[in-house]
Structure 1
């Protein structure tokens, strides 16, 4: 049972997101500079000067605090000294320009190479997580099995647990239907290979949708008599979903758009990856 996953060695440290928040800020600043070089206009144009230097770093840290601490935009605006409208506008613009997705893909490839793997995976693991949502959320439904009113996150991760594709739907949407947009994202990124999931992904409809995209759906049993079995690499997606539970903004969904919810999921994984890459041992960095 299990899998032969050999992650890169990192310096031993407990899970303390605040200890390495500067790593997240540095990675975002690097990606903003790369987008500016590509003429993606990560900063707004207008009569007011764009945020730079220390103020920009403070704004990035404030956006991270919204996701990790679950703070309201108005509250973090008061604490940071930056108008909450400015913070929200930055977050919305960067989300629209694809900053978080682009940064997550770059860090994921870097981590895989540091672990001695190829930059792109040959197999993915799919699963979903039902989250409670506020009445103001962009969508709501009732998950009959878990008795939760909210939304579902559908995710496809590689063997180290970092996502290649993310989507969301009302909680009453069946997993086989909600996973189709994720498969389309995978195919759009050039992925061709097997997608491992639990027995909830059985069925001819999803199998045909995957086959049309060049993705083979492989449902396997991950439990027996109420006991979880870590079969092959299928368990890594469970760990990924548990990572998300540490980010309070993702425990009760209040986002008014699906793109903003997915952006906070991407921010969570960027935070994890940037912290891991900062803690790589000197031996791995020199290799």
Structure 2
């Protein structure tokens, strides 16, 4: 199966599950047009992977771009992308023979250039990038568990604070592995309040070379995987939840492809 077919199948199954749970996937009293919905899901994947504009995708597909973007934004607002991405990450852990929840997660940030239309723009003085930071938390397999977005001039520890409560709500209790950007007693104390222990290791050598340490390098591999999806390399979205949706879409595509490949081996 092609990547787009695997993605559409996974999203359709999740939409049906949300419909059974009555979380507002479609308007009350109206049955969804399943053929149109499948086309919309496939176009959303194409946008994330190829990086084209919404208007161009609408013109090429014959579907009004307002219809396409409205469906994408509605699903993002309902939490479809985050919910499916996290569920697939845990499913992949089970498929690999691990426990559902990891005993340790890895955290790191990546600075991304943003267009003037983006919701925020800050300057990362260390990397000389004007845009936003994407802070990602992943397990040892490199599967994304949660993320946070903020201007590039925000300190990593301040940006990671909202993640702590969400990781705890997910059921995680264990070690949070990060580089020296996450060291400090205030952040460690805030993490301990959620039964999360911060473990800091140096991220590089004095001459700026990357220094692998334990499983901390897997988050760098995660960023490399995500960079293959062109929509994620420059931020154009006017709201953070919309750009976060594109990141989750990329992760859904990656993990769903793995799960299907494993079932055929």
TM-score bucket (shorter structure)? over 0.9
For this pair of structures, how many residues does the alignment match? 264
1:34 aligns with 2:34: no
Q: Does 1:122 find its partner at 2:103?
A: yes
Given that residues 154 and 182 in structure 1 are in contact (C-alpha distance below 8 angstroms), is that contact kept between their aligned partners in structure 2?
no
Partner of 1:256: 238
* Structure 1 residues without counterparts, runs of 5 or longer: 1-17
Which residue number in structure 2 is paired with residue 179 of structure 1?
Answer: 160
Give distance in 2, aligned partners of 1:263 and 1:226.
Answer: 32
Map of 1:44 onto structure 2 = 27
Whole-angstrom distance in 2 between the partners of 1:46 and 1:86: 19
1:67 aligned residue (30, 48, 63): 48
SS of corresponding position for 1:179: helix
Find the aligned partners of 2:88 and 2:185 in 1 and give their Cα distance.
35
Alpha-carbon distance in 2 for matches of 1:20, 1:266 = 15
How many Å apart are 1:157 and its aligned residue? 0.6
Q: In structure 2, what is the equivalent of residue 215 of structure 1?
A: 196
What's the C-alpha RMSD, in Å, of the aligned pairs? 1.6
Q: Report what 2:72 is aligned to.
A: 91
Pick which of 99-108 and 164-173 moved more: 99-108
Deviation at 1:162, TM superposition (A): 1.1
* 8 Å contact from structure 1 (residues 21, 275) kept in 2: no
CA distance, structure 2, for counterparts of residue 132 and residue 52 of structure 1: 37
TM-score (ref. length: structure 1): 0.88
Secondary structure of 2:2's match? Answer: helix
The separation in 2 between residues aligned to 1:128 and 1:151, in whole angstroms, is 10
Q: 1:205 aligns with which of 183, 186, 190?
A: 186
Unaligned stretches of 5+ in structure 2? none
Q: Deviations over 1:80-107 (max 9, x none)?
A: 1111111111111111111111111221
